[in-house]
Structure 1
Amino acid sequence: MKWPDNSLAIAAFVADKTLVTIGEKVTLMNQSNLASVKYKWEIDGASPATSTEKSPQVSFDKAGTYSVKLTAINEKGQEDSVTQTELITVINQPVELTNFALNQSVQVDSFTNESESGPKAVDGKLNTKWCAVGTGKHNITIDLGKSEKINQVLIDHAQKGGESPDMNTSDYTIEISKDNQNWTEVVNVKKNKLGETKDSFKQTEARYVRITATKPTQGADTAVRLYEIQVLGQKNS
């Protein structure tokens, strides 16, 4: 068996928000591996346009869509780069995000009973939840009703509903689709411990959003517990 070389840098990052107004701060959150010890950022149209900080804050003085490149460097000077094209959308008006998931139609792989069924995850309440038991992955697909410009998903996990932090979803993916057939993964989270998560991605037109809990809790429990899901984006004018 050939083991991977753990001394190699692997560049990775996310932004805390991807739709902002002119002058608004964006934090670029570095997720490079532990072998990475130095960083080079190149951010189109930003101030600053370059940085060597681990997780810099930047802003933009003109409306438009901008790409971000991160180069991670290991102790030997070896580099790995990743570019996210058209990641940040800047508009010349205040950002107003709409929750397109509220009270929309959902499909789930399973649920425990009617009081913990899929629609409970999008009813706007923190005293209800979608809960599914059994082994393997659990998924929920939200139909937004029509194609919308979306850029962020907020999830309230078990702790936000008053349960133990041990029940917060550890690993999950978020995929989007225009036709409920062809899917694009936009978020892949591992080792989450938070009761409330906010995942941002490039503003994209989509009608369907699928969340799959690949590791539903912090331990061996295989039941997923999601109290509320918000799919946020910019209303079409």
Structure 2
Amino acid sequence: MKTFANHSSRMTGKGIGREDAENVRKTMDQFWEKLSKRKDATKEINQLNEEFADIVEAADILKEKLPAETLEESSENLDKLKLLGENGKLALDMVLAKNNQVDDAYKKLKKKLKSNLPALNRGARVSEKTVLAFIKEALDFDPLPVVSFDVSKTLVAPVEKIQFKNTSSLTTEEIEWTFKGAKVEHSTAQNPKVVYEKEGIYPVKLVGKNPLGKDKVVRQEYITVTDLAKSEKTNLALGKEITASSNCAKTEKSQFAVDGSTQTKWCANDSGTHKLTVDLGGTNVVSEIVMKHAEAGGEPSSSNTLAYRIQISKDGKNFKDLVKVTDNKSAVTNDQIPVIKGRYVRLIVDKPTQGDDNAARIYEFEVMGLEGDVELPPKYEPGNPRLVENAAELNALVEQLGKEGAIDEAGVHSLILHLTAINHYENKQLADKVVKHLESFKQMLEYQLKNAVISEEVYHNLMMNADALIEKWQ
């Protein structure tokens, strides 16, 4: 009974109960951590194989020995437990096959596991946060880096701090941020704080690497910096006209999703997807969507919306996708979006709960932004960087790029050694030697670019300055 009890999902919302199979979950997390960093995970592999075997054995023994009355009540759970144990083993074998590049075995196991997934998602709630979660993590596992990030806000005033958060896969070992137009344009920090001093609409890029490859995500026109953001953002949806695809009851109509209270909710239980559309009353500036799901209103976490989309429109007919979430677990979601103008905002609930319950429960749907069709600043257009006047200024530029994380410590050291010699020859007015060492400096830049010590952007910046100094001394 111990194995069965350990993997039985519990109601954990609002401080009720505890997570299922906590020690097993810890082993799984350690397995993913080691595998992602290419460390020896033999201990965790053996422990997981033993756990999955114990799950199958426990289910069989209990079905054989439990009294008929008890078995009648728990048979569905035991069948699900056995299915999870068997598929947990398949998932582990599949990941190891992929990691060891045994492609045929990997494809065969993945196909089988995906065909079993619908049955694993249905029925009794057993080990949802442990074995079932592990199976889904295994299907998503990729040894190559997969880059992603979150941001605290996309609409800010000049010099207001923005918190970025790296949410890339565990297999992503090195990262480099590019914030064009920001006070500091490059960073290798996991979660940098960024400041933009001038109004404009700015892009953000994140590159991630490991020895197997690299990935990048570029979000154009992502951060809007405007003096208008000095005032507080408004919940544009509060008290506005709203319609829905259906309602569970008169006391759970759509207007309760925009009444500013978590004591009331919109509930919908018709078949298919559920829709909620709010008319903001005119064109407004939207930058954020806040949703308060079932748990925020005191219901179990199992009733939180799992999958949803958010769209926006100016005319109520032609909608543009803003957000797509497929695996939410949170009671409150805060989706930051690139600033956009619109009048109608639509929520589409694709999977209303964590299980089979088809009823959507939204306690609050908040559309945050600025009121009115206000004028936004122009898109940021980088100008040519100011060229340095001498080797000392180029040396200072290299040091600054090093502080920003755009060049590593060894790369900075090598470049500065060359620039120290160039500065010496400049002071002595030895033009031939200045030019000769600047050519050598350029060769070093080419070497660093080829070996990924510096980015193309840094390469072109320093190369342009070196060429300008060469022209000056020739």
TM norm structure 2: 0.47
1:218 aligned partner, one-letter code:
Q
In the other structure, the counterpart of 2:152 is: 16
Asked if 1:200 is matched to 2:340, the reply is no
**Deviates further, 24-33 or 209-218:** 24-33
Task: Say which of 204, 220, 223 aligns to 1:85.
Answer: 220
1:1-237 correspondence runs (5 A)? 6-76=142-212, 78-92=213-227, 94-236=230-372
Which segment drifts farther, 198-207 or 168-177? 168-177
Deviation of 1:175 (Å)? 1.2
Q: 1:188 to 1:31 in 2, by over 3 A?
A: farther
Deviations 1:120-145 (A, max 9, x none): 10112221110011443212111111
Per-residue displacement from partner, 1:97-138 (whole Å, max 9, x unpaired)?
Answer: 111111212221211111111111011222111001144321
From the superposition, tell whether residues 37 and 214 of structure 1 become closer, same or farther in structure 2 (CA, over 3 Å). farther
CA offsets per residue over residues 150-196 of structure 1, 9 Å max, x none? 10111111111111122111221111111222222111223222211
Worse overlay, 46-55 or 164-173: 46-55
CA-atom RMSD in angstroms: 2.1
DSSP-derived class of the 2:356 partner: coil
- Check the 8 A contact 1:16/1:199 in 2, yes or no: no
Displacement of 1:28: 2.0
User: C-alpha distance in 2, partners of 1:35/1:183?
Assistant: 36
Letter of the structure 2 residue corresponding to residue 68 of structure 1: V
- The whole-number CA distance in structure 2 between the counterparts of 1:177 and 1:31 is 29
- Separation of aligned partners in 1, 2:141 and 2:150: 24
Structure 1 22/106 Cα, relative in aligned 2: closer, same or farther at 3 Å? same
- Contact preservation (8 Å) 1:145, 1:207: yes
Higher CA-based Rg: 2
Q: Which has the higher strand share?
A: 1
CA contact under 8 A between 1:19 and 1:95: conserved in structure 2?
Answer: no
| Partner secondary structure for residue 166 of structure 1 | helix
Letter in 2 for 1:48: V
Secondary structure of the corresponding residue to residue 237 of structure 2 = coil
